[in-house]
Structure 1
Amino acid sequence: VLFENREQLWLSSPRVNTENTHGTGDTLSAAIAAELAKGTDLKDAIIIGKQFIQGAIADGIDVGHGHGPTNHWADLSDEVLVESE
């Protein structure tokens, strides 16, 4: 993420071998928006959003066929590496 003040935020996490990735972009943006609505500052909201989606992917639920959904009831992941410049 490149902020207006030129600060950079790099987030990374392990790849999860799963087909349960349907809606990951929507889930990430909704998690960030929810944090902003709670008054969390932008940088922290993005970090929490990444932790949320990483946990939701890692603890996926198996329903239907093909690409299933992420698990919106999962815990935040502690596997997200955060680097700022």
Structure 2
Amino acid sequence: MRLKNQAQQKLRSEEGYALAVKRMIEPEPVFGDIKNNRNFKRFLLRGLPKVSLEVGWLSLAHNLIKKAKVDAKCKGAKREHAA
């Protein structure tokens, strides 16, 4: 619990906030999402052209899921605004 509180205090500091903002624009969260949330651990295909294609599929799926979330959020906001 003590370590968790220390981590929260660091993130709330100016330096921690600047680090968090920097990480938001880095590609690291995308790869973390693909690896952990999509359970992608290794390439199924072999050879650079096939691996490039597989990375393209993963990127496409990530972007489509992201777009669907944004669309759903906008649709919910429009629904609340109209009511």
What TM-score bracket applies, with the shorter chain setting the length?
under 0.3
The structure with the larger Rg is 2
More contact order relative to length (CA 8 Å, sep ≥ 6): 1
Q: TM-score, normalised by structure 1?
A: 0.26
User: Greater helix share, 1 or 2?
Assistant: 2
- TM-score, scaled relative to structure 2: 0.27
Structure with the largest fraction of strand: 1
